[in-house]
């Protein structure tokens, strides 16, 4: 397989995180943003469907393998919302401070004491021939409010993973990379990439 992979994203936090996970494998990375590709409309109804859609669009446009991530925060008290619409909760300006407040307000309004949540990550690897392989990882935790920490991105400052008393926003990035939903999906991808070699 090609040693260059396109990260099918325009989210700089996500690009950095995926590039860091790919680095030990010796892959060169570029991104859909760096190549000037348009973001395809996410019309899927699952994380995997949206990841596959993005990966296939970049693989076809670049003529290279492309890796896409579709991830989100699923809150039990909100019936799994924001879920696949996690980025949309941040609005057109991608204001995740606004999105985190929306989640916290909705949980408080629900009247439940249950703050359980999980981050879900679907990773899809598409090849220029149109073939695609997908993996899904999860990590459980609880919603924390007010937000804490300035590391990570997205909803990290309001998510405390199970077994920890700090949020992803407070956690050292290397520690987060070792146990996050993305790391879980990534370990499955690594096994697949090694099998290809």
Does 93 qualify as catalytic in the annotation?
A: no
* Range 100-105, long-range pairs (CB < 8 A, 24+ positions): 100/147, 100/155, 100/157, 100/158, 103/73, 103/75, 103/78, 103/143, 103/155, 103/158, 104/143, 104/145, 104/146, 104/158
Strands 116-126 and 132-143: antiparallel
Query: Residue 179: which residues within 8 A CB-CB, separation 6 or more?
Result: 139, 161
- CA–CA gap between residue 128 and residue 126 (Å, rounded): 7
Question: Measuring CA to CA, which residue among 94, 38, 89, 35 is closest to residue 64?
Answer: 35
For residue 4, what are the CA distances in angstroms to 11, 17, 19, 24, 127? 19, 16, 11, 13, 11
- Given 69, 70, 156, 165, the catalytic residue: 70
Catalytic residues, by residue number, are 70
């Amino acid at each position: 397989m090609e040693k260059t992979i396109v990260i099918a994203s325009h989210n700089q936090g996500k690009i950095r995180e995926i590039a860091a996970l790919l680095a030990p494998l010796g892959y060169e990375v570029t991104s859909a943003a760096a190549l000037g590709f348009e973001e395809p409309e996410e019309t899927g109804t699952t994380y995997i469907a949206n990841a596959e859609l993005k990966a296939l669009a970049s693989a076809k446009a670049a003529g290279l393998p492309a890796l896409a991530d579709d991830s989100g925060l699923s809150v039990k008290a909100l019936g799994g919302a924001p879920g696949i619409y996690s980025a949309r909760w941040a609005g057109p300006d991608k204001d995740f401070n606004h999105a985190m407040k929306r989640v916290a307000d909705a949980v408080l309004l629900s009247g439940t004491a249950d703050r359980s949540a999980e981050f879900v990550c679907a990773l899809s690897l598409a090849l220029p021939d149109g073939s695609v392989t997908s993996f899904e990882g999860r990590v459980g935790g609880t919603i924390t409010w007010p937000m804490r920490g300035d590391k990570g991105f997205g909803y990290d400052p309001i998510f405390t993973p199970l077994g920890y008393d700090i949020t992803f926003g407070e956690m050292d990035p290397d520690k987060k990379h070792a146990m996050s939903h993305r790391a879980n999906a990534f370990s499955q991808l690594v096994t697949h990439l090694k099998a290809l070699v």
